[in-house]
Structure 1
Amino acid sequence: MPIDTTLQHGILIECKAMVQHAFASGLKVPANLVSSLENYELKYLKLTNQSINLHQLEDNQSNSFDSLQNHAHELSIIHNQLTDIIAPAKPRTILLLEREAQRCIWLKFLGPVPLIRQMMIVALVALISFITLSLSSYVNGMPSNFSLLDNSGISLLINELFLLSAAAIGASFAGLFKANYYIKNRTFDEVYGSSYWVRFVLGLLSGIILASLIPIETFSENEGKMTATLHGLGKPVLALLGGFSASVVYRILYRLAGAVESIIQSDSKETSEMQETVTKSRVNEQLLTERMQISSKLTNLQHKLSSQNQLPEELMNEFRRIQQELINPDFDQFELPEQPPKPVNNQDNKTNLEKTG
């Protein structure tokens, strides 16, 4: 395997790019660090640029690897120190910007990296489309022209494309603004390039959704004419805002879905609670009826036995306790009523008369 494809080769290239960036940015780099890097590069070039034949290649290449491996530890230390010096910039971003600066392409004025140039072209196309579609007589700002139910044909198509171009402007603006921030800080990473296009498509969707769901123009419509506050630009503004921040539309839809779900869950919960309450009331009513019937029977039995003077006092108290328990399960907290007086028979009356006489 050729020497210039080893891991050390990539680290060496990143170190050179970081040193150049540090000097160009006015950062202080220790002299011994630069000297060590220069010595390693000279040794590397000397070993990789030797003119040898095929038989010498195998022997010398193994010797070259052994010599370079002795300096791998030193190269790693140099790379780590340079990374700390240029922080928060990343070595990969600096290397990418250096390579792109060396390329000769006529679109370089649109941005330093391919992603920025592509998004710039999309933004310009969206802006030109927005201006061109606004020249059409079909685009007059009336709410009915943007409605999927009230409009149709070419008029509806042009108005929807008008909203789509507004959403594209907002989405490309947000993407370019964020990418420019990372480019400025030298922390841009091409690995996340696809995420910018995903956010752009989400911006298009959210712009159309927001402009279609919120009837902002109808709030200011007066007898078929738009008021001076919006001038028919309410829908395009909503599309622009939706394209700029797709996360806002996501949160709106998420909360709407949560609200609908909570309404459905609350209705089912209220229904189950109502059914449970009705069942409990029916059971309690049935138990109360049964207890009252048993209490009535006990009362009748008590009166029959007491009229015949066949009921001892202990049994009378037991009757009263059972009646209280049937009527009120927590009868222990109440005091028992006083014992009714015993019935007086004729023999007792005669005895009392003799004592008083």
Structure 2
Amino acid sequence: MTPRTVQTAPADGRATVVCGIGACLPPQVRSNADVAHDGALATSDAWIRSRTGIAHRRWAAAGTATGDLATAAGRAALESAAGARADMLLLATTTPDRRCPATAPEVARRLGLGTIAAFDLAAVCSGFVYAMTVATGLVRSGLCDRPLVIGAETYSTIVDPQDRDTAVVFGDGAGAVLLRAGDRGEPGEVIAWDLGADGSGSDLISITAGGSSTPATETTPPRDHRYLRMRGREVYAHAVRRMTESSRTALRRADWEPSVLGAFIGHQANQRILDTVGDRLGVAPRHRYGNIRDVGNTAAASVPLALADTAARDLVRPGTPTLLTAFGGGLTWGSIALTWPAARPRANSPRQDRQQRKEDPWTLSTTT
């Protein structure tokens, strides 16, 4: 079946196109054995691999913040688009540099973007899909022309090293895409999307303390309230159901059958979840892409990092029908149907000097 579109650009033909892709992974690699040893966990490399598909993850060094990773990934995305300048910045993160203010304005400053609109968006592991959908709507409405969308996390700062449910799963990193106003039919066009949320499951993935309902006090809160907690079995069932349903909705809105997909990237949370969702959708294994084995679950950074990794290996032809899907705390979920972009990804490494954050320009070493 030849894919058609039914809910693409508005009547004036203004579409949203991915024109730049960037990534940043901190250099420190943590193996399963490292994580198990440091947290004194009753687990093993074989146990972690068999249940999650994860072998390694990246952790930010002491002094490296989410904003550092976000800046590096954002700069890489701009470089990927031949140095194009963004006119809005959306940062999806659960681990902002500070509770107040948002991290996005500082990232925009460090990128030399001036006084453009910049804001954080919190939807946990669905954050990037949420932010990319919001940015798409802003382009189509004419409110901006080139939004930069970044997913960045330092989950190593909120995970309890003694909690086997989370310590073995999460890692740090950042991924970014630059969008632009374009024409229908271009490679990288965002075709359709679906977003959803269900607050009745808000306690399945959460950090209890620190918000207005349980404010931080002079007395340190109990350990169970300071760190991220996740009820894994319940999350698994919700993730499979919601990503499958959301993917089908996005495909229906694009008027695509699953058989036309040449690329499928799901949130890199658990290989079993990814396999089950792919099977239920009927996506051939050869069209499923990801990097969970090497980077673990990077939350809001997961989807753009997998996108960048796949593009860097030149595994998908530009224009190929593609589906992105994610699920996260909240509960939140979302999916995007697009055609594979023609952009060549770039990758940057974070500078670990805190003082460098106060200097302009903020220079980075670049690799391809």
TM-score by length of 2: 0.19
**Bigger relative contact order (CA 8 A; separation at least 6):** 2
Q: More helix by proportion, 1 or 2?
A: 1
Quick check: which has more Rg, 1 or 2? 1
Q: More strand by proportion, 1 or 2?
A: 2
